[in-house]
Structure 1
Amino acid sequence: MIDEYAWRGGREAMLRFGPGSGPVVVVVLPLFEEANRLRASIVAMCRRLADAGIASLLPDVPGQGESLTLLQDCTLADMRAGLAAAARVAAMTHGPIHAVSIRSGVLLDTFALPERRWSFAPQPGSDLLRQLRRIDRAATLNAGAPVRELPARTTQTVTIAGNVIGRTLLDALEAADGLDAPSHGGRVVRLTGDARAADRHVEGTALWRRSEPDIDLPLVALLADDIKAWVVSCAG
């Protein structure tokens, strides 16, 4: 079901899945282009959760997706405030709120209690920006143009890989980790082959590296089942 939520900067769209009461997960997509590549898989995951009786919300983050808020005007605090407002909407009708973040979504899910945060392949802000710069550099080289350096820190906005990012957001992302204790006390799932610490490693495709959106249905099923079991364990 298509719904919306209000935050201090206006109104944003969100999708609702599953029952109208009981525990609910607020799903946080990754930032920038990865959201487009993973959205279909995440929607499929939410539908599988709904079939298992777990409700979920998939909000548009301020400055991302179909948001009417310009990215260049957004701060990291704005994005977090928008998600917190969406979580408050869920809290009015549901039971406990859980955060399910994908990749760089872990930088935004501070609305949830530490033990109610679940993350898949979490990505720190510095890694996100390095990735954007690599994409930007490759596109520049392919176009035959000279490689651009980042503007001086006094510049108000920076364009990286087609994204006009305000300097305040850029600096905040550079410093944001998302996994620093005690802010993250929940569950971390990573793909097999990722040697970093996790509560579980699963087989699957790194869809965020694909040039076009795709769905890995076995991975979707694995993640949905893991989230369901985790939500049940939080209630225990």
Structure 2
Amino acid sequence: MESRSFQMDTQWNIIYYPEKPTGFGVLVIGDERHFVEEGKCFWTQNEGKLVIIDELKEMGYTIFSSNLYGRNWGSARAADLAQRLYHQVIRSEILNHKIHILAEGMGALIAIQLMKKMKENIRSVLLLNPILSLKYHLEQEKEHKFFYKKLTRELMDAYQLDEIGLNNLISKMEVPIQLEDGIPVHIIHVLSGARSYNQSKQYQQILGSSPINPTFLLPEKKLQLGKICYKFFKSHESVL
């Protein structure tokens, strides 16, 4: 069996099985384009992402992912569903209870919450072009009126708040952010477009005094992402 789909709270979830499992699992949390439907997900429909999935499966990883209500923007209910998915997968599959997390874009907002909620169950976290702070991201989007309005609507929908409630929530968010100690975190940023080149300074502002040093990749090196993920995950598997 290559994959298995199932629903939780109306949301589709999918597990991809390797031919030769090592017993380690990877939870993939996608960006705002991500989706999971019956029998498929964005990461297997997108050529670049499929390369990563195939390489990780080749190395024996069991990969699982959820639709998480679509454009959830790090909402608490999406984080709760991700945590429930973890427990469901650990119950149903033969896997080490400490998993790796691979999160892209807005998926990092969920990953950061999971690091706090289930610290003992996370082996390592790899963040790809992450949005680390909703507050900071919203500030950045203010320059682009159309995208800012669209993002605000999506946030109100995801958090089930009106505009005043959303503004109150955002105002209480802290920058720099505090990442959970004791979990290895690696940030990879694939450069593309003018905005990407300011990214180093932005990460410094968001991460504050954190010792994390993001890795910046040129677009033509994107095909190496699968190998980079594997190398990072593998380096944190010596202690079961």
TM interval, short-chain normalised:
0.5 to 0.7
How far apart, CA to CA, are the structure 1 residues paired with 2:29 and 2:174?
16
Q: Is 2:76 the counterpart of 1:64? A: no
* Matching residue of 2:216: 202
> Out of 33, 54, 57, which is 1:47 matched to?
54
For the structure 1 residues 44 and 132, does the alpha-carbon distance in structure 2 shift closer, same or farther, using more than 3 Å as the test?
farther
Match of 1:116 among 117, 121, 124: 124
The Cα shift of 1:127 comes to: 3.1
Matched residues in 1 for 2:228 and 2:12: separation? 29
Which position in structure 1 is the counterpart of 2:79? 80
Q: Is the 8 A contact 1:54 1:228 kept in 2?
A: no
Cα deviation 1:11-30 (Å, max 9, x = unaligned): 43324242555111101112
Using the TM superposition, give the Cα deviation of residue 182 of structure 1 relative to its aligned residue in structure 2, in angstroms. 2.5
Aligned counterparts of 1:60 and 1:232: Cα–Cα separation in 2: 27
CA change 1:180–1:3 in 2 (3 A) is same
Q: Does the 8 Å CA contact 1:3/1:14 hold for their aligned counterparts? A: yes
Tell whether 2:233 aligns with 1:234.
no
Say if 1:126 and 1:235 are closer, same or farther in 2 by CA, change over 3 A: same
Determine if contact 1:16/1:56 at 8 Å carries over to the other structure. yes
Gaps of 5+ in 2: 36-41, 192-196, 205-211
Residue in 1 aligned with 2:161? 167
Query: Tell me, what secondary structure is at the counterpart of 2:218?
Result: coil
User: What 5-or-longer segments of structure 1 have no aligned partner?
Assistant: 66-70, 141-147, 151-157, 206-215
| Greater helix proportion | 2
**Map of 1:4 onto structure 2:** 6
Q: Distance in 1 between matches of 2:63 and 2:224?
A: 17
1:159, CA displacement in angstroms?
2.1
- Give 1:10 deviation, angstroms: 4.0
- Structure 1 residue 42, shift from structure 2 partner: 2.9
Query: Residue 98 of structure 1: SS of its match in structure 2?
Result: strand
Q: CA deviation at 1:2?
A: 4.1
Large movers: runs of 4+ above 6 Å? none
Partners of 1:173 and 1:79 in 2: CA distance: 17
CA displacement at 1:44 relative to structure 2: 3.1
CA distance in 1, matches of 2:127, 2:138: 19
- Which residue of 1 is the match for residue 30 of structure 2? 29
Rounded to whole Å, the distance in 1 between the matches of 2:100 and 2:56 is: 13
RMSD between aligned residues: 3.8
- CA 1:54–1:102 in structure 2 vs 1: closer, same or farther (change >3 Å)? same
* SS of equivalent residue, structure 1 residue 180: coil
Q: TM-score, normalised by structure 2?
A: 0.63
**Offset of residue 179 of structure 1:** 5.0
Give the AA of the match of 2:56.
Answer: L
AA at the equivalent of 1:13: N
2:146 alignment counterpart: 138
Per the TM alignment, residue 200 of structure 1 is displaced from its structure 2 partner at its CA by: 4.6
Which residue identity lines up with residue 56 of structure 1 in the other structure?
A: I
Aligned counterparts, 1:86-105, within 5 A: 86-92=85-91, 93=93, 94-95=95-96, 96-105=98-107
Query: Any conservation in 2 of the 1:119–1:188 contact (CA below 8 Å)?
Result: yes
